[in-house]
Amino acid sequence: MIEKTKRLISEINLIHAKFSEKYFNSHENELEKINLSQTINHVPVKYILDYRLNLHESINDYLMKADVKDVYFLYRVKTAESIEEKIKRYGEHQEKYPVNNWLNDIFGCRVILNRWQIKEILTLLDDWKVEYGLKNWYQRDKDGYKGIHVYFKNQSNFYFPWELQIWDENDVDSNIEVHEKYKRKFLER
């Protein structure tokens, strides 16, 4: 599963690069490029939601061609409501953070591994970060949630980052519970 996870990271990174290049640089898409290392005050919500909609409508075309047919993983494109909730939450902070630091999961994947595979992955991630030019990765252990988060941005502050979460199979139930409690507040309206 280690080789499959490495291939998944490689393929997501490649898809991210291809999709971003086409979306932001195609001649048919006369899109103003916005540096996402700026705060939300400089990035229009419509710009974000248009990206999300285009990604939602086209991601399966990219995934069908990827070399991951034998890798079990889950994915989603964040809903517009979830993005708006996140924008609201981060817009209320006293300190303003760059958009690409917190809106880094419009596309997200999840892979479930056992604890031995997780330990091995942790020893390899720094090398994979260099090999694939990943934005960063970190291990999260907060409020009952445990996971490794890997971020893709292909060295461009003009591309929205994507996320891969690597979960230990023993943490699935508690991670889902935490996600339901803290990450879906927009459903309470």
Cα distance between residue 21 and residue 25, in whole Å: 5
Sheet containing strand 136-142, strands side by side:
74-77, 107-113, 162-168, 145-152, 136-142
Question: For residue range 58-94, what is the model confidence (pLDDT) as tens digits?
Answer: 999 999 999 999 999 999 999 999 999 999 988 887 6
Which amino acid appears at position 1 of this protein? Answer: M
Give the model's pLDDT for residue 181.
79
Average pLDDT of the chain, as a whole number? 91
Question: For residue range 13-31, what is the model confidence (pLDDT) as tens digits?
Answer: 999 999 999 998 875 656 7
| The two three-digit tokens of residue 94, written as one number | 């006293």
Domain 2-188: assigned CATH number? 3.30.460
Whether the predicted pLDDT of 57 surpasses 70: yes
Which of these ranges, 24-38, 71-85, 95-109, 157-171, has the smallest mean pLDDT?
A: 24-38
Give the model's pLDDT for residue 187.
52
Q: What is residue 140's DSSP assignment?
A: E
Give the model's pLDDT for residue 70.
95
* C-alpha neighbours within 13 Å on the C-beta side of residue 100: 19
Q: Where are the domains of the chain?
A: 2-188
Q: What is residue 171's DSSP assignment?
A: G
Question: For residue range 106-124, what is the model confidence (pLDDT) as tens digits?
Answer: 999 999 999 999 999 999 9
